Amino acid sequence: MKLYMAILMMLLLVGSVFGATMTVGTSSTDQPQLYDGTASDGTVTDGANTDGANGVHPARAAALRKAVKHTIKAKPAELKSNIDACMAECASDDVDCAKRCRHQQTSAFSIQAVKSHKETHEERCTAQCEEDEDCNTRCLAHVRKMFTEDASGKIKVNKEHFLKQREVTREMYQKAKEAYTNAKERRKEFKEKAQEARGELKAAKEKLRECYDANGDDSTECAAVADEIFQHAKEYVVGTAKEGIEHLESLKAKAEESEDLDGETASEITTRLDDLIAELTALAEKADAATTKEELHEAASEIKDMLVKMRRHANVHAKRIVKAAAYGLKKRTEYVGIKLEELINRLAVASIDTTELESLLDEYNEYLGNAEEAFAAADELFKEARELAENGEENSETLKKAHEYIKEADQHVKNARNIADKIFAAVRSHGANLKDTDDVEEMVVDVVDADATTVAGVDGTATDGVMNNE
């Protein structure tokens, strides 16, 4: 009887741990989510920013050293001045000379502006990677894909590398989407079976107690009831483990479908999740193969420990996937900023006063710089959370702080998008002087609309935790 009670207590502990583990939500956005205690209204608190000894969280202090903000080094007034200087040397009736001046100076100015953006990204690589040469090499290689340079030295913006970090084919995406849906359905099935087994286990336990009271602890008449408890206990342990496996499978599918994760990061996450899946699968098989109470007790104890490990590691990866989605939106917003800068320069060439637009663009870049800083702070905390998990230590508070930084960054990006809308509206008001603005307008609309598919994932509120507080 005492051993059965020990098994039951172990199972309840498994349920309690698992409640904190299963955190991928069933929200309409299908974003990877986990419990982090954030406000339901999405409010960004100061907790992540002001709990250090000097009033600044260490991750924020590190981010301040690593977040390089872009500043517009060449103002439109300089472009207009260059054009005027060039045209001063043209004959008064030489229309072709005036056209050449506008074309040459505008082209040179655009190259200078794009080069400035490239230099900003290169500086970020150096700051963020510090003395890690491999990191710096990978980062600079990505920058070269974002800003391509031809044989003449002309630098162009590669739109595709701002829109996504890697190519995910339609076939890959559909396969991952199907895997996610299947994992979610299997998880629900195992959850229901485990809960049912748990209810039957409690009933059988009471039945066994009554049998012992009526016939004594050594009665052979209670053997059938004891065997019933054993079977229900096994079903509960195995079902709980399998539910954890499907949680990991769903996270893996979200990593595989994401274009916001670069190939190396996506591969690293899926490999680590596969390792966790293999460990938990082996323990589930061990529990299923148990033929004695002692064997089941040992398997339940190992599964409990494994679920704690799984929660710590899996939640890090879930947050990284959420961060990648938010950062992807930031990159797309940054691309829009580059295009808006080009349009403002074209307004200057057309002798339109751009002073107010330049001020808005400065504010736009400031918001994106603040977002970069917050993302860098989240990355610092991800490193810390991974180290804690590797050392078998709790990391939930660290991940909570990282999530606050992601939300802060997302708010900065939202603010930048609102400014982008204002800038483009002003640019469109001078449409008679400009051509080919539809592609930029489409980009602005795409970025603003992206809020509907990203913010819910960034909020990260769990909606279907398993066996919480039981």
Give pLDDT tens digits for 363-405: 998 999 899 889 989 988 999 999 999 999 999 999 999 999 9
Report how far Cα 24 is from the mean position of its chain's Cα atoms: 13
Residue 197 has pLDDT above 80, yes or no: yes
Report, in angstroms and rounded to the nearest whole number, the Rg of the chain calculated over CA atoms: 29
Q: Name residue 147's beta-bridge partners.
A: 157
The percentage of the chain sitting over the pLDDT mark of 90, rounded to a whole number, equals 36
Residue 8 has pLDDT above 50, yes or no: no
Residue 434 is predicted with a pLDDT of 53
244 with 310: CB under 8 angstroms? yes
- Over residues 428-438, mean pLDDT: 59
Give the pLDDT band (50/70/90) at residue 179: very high
Token pair listed for 345: 């320069």
Q: 55: which residues sit within 8 A by CB, 6+ positions away?
A: none
What are 261-283's pLDDT values in tens digits? 988 899 999 999 999 999 999 99
Residue 326 has pLDDT above 70, yes or no: yes
Handedness of CA 292, 295, 300, 303 (dihedral sign): negative
280 with 248: CB under 8 angstroms? yes
CA angle, residues 355, 361, 363, in degrees to nearest 5: 110
Give the pLDDT band (50/70/90) at residue 56: low
The more confidently predicted of residues 53 and 386 is: 386
Q: What is the largest CA-CA distance in the chain?
A: 118
Token pair listed for 405: 């930084």
Which of 144-153, 211-220, 294-303: highest mean pLDDT?
Answer: 294-303
Residue type, 112: Q
DSSP 30-78: ----------TT-PPPSTTTS-STTSS-HHHHHHHHH-PPP---S-HHH
187 with 150: CB under 8 angstroms? no
Place of tokens 């330049």: 358
Helix (H) or strand (E) holding 155: strand 155-157
Of 174-183, 299-308, 333-342, 387-396, minimum mean pLDDT range = 333-342
Buried b (16+ CB within 10 A) or exposed e, 282-312: ebbebbeebeebeebbebbbbbbebbbbbbb
Residue 47 is predicted with a pLDDT of 40
Residue 138 is predicted with a pLDDT of 81
Residue 461 has pLDDT above 70, yes or no: no
Residue type, 443: M
What are 39-52's pLDDT values in tens digits? 333 333 334 444 44
Give the Cα separation of 364 and 343 in Å (integer). Answer: 15
What are 344-361's pLDDT values in tens digits? 887 877 778 888 988 998
CA neighbours within 13 Å on the CB side: how many for 437? 21
Residue 32 is predicted with a pLDDT of 44
Give the Cα separation of 453 and 29 in Å (integer). Answer: 6
Place of tokens 């802060």: 408
187 with 280: CB under 8 angstroms? no
- Count the Cβ atoms, other than its own, within 10 Å of residue 248: 27
Token pair listed for 283: 């323990």
Q: Name residue 156's beta-bridge partners.
A: 148
What are 96-125's pLDDT values in tens digits? 787 777 777 777 777 777 778 888 888 888
Residue 12 is predicted with a pLDDT of 47
- Over residues 326-340, mean pLDDT: 88
Burial class of 465 by CB neighbour count within 10 A (0 to 12, 13 to 18, 19+): middle
Handedness of CA 208, 214, 215, 218 (dihedral sign): positive
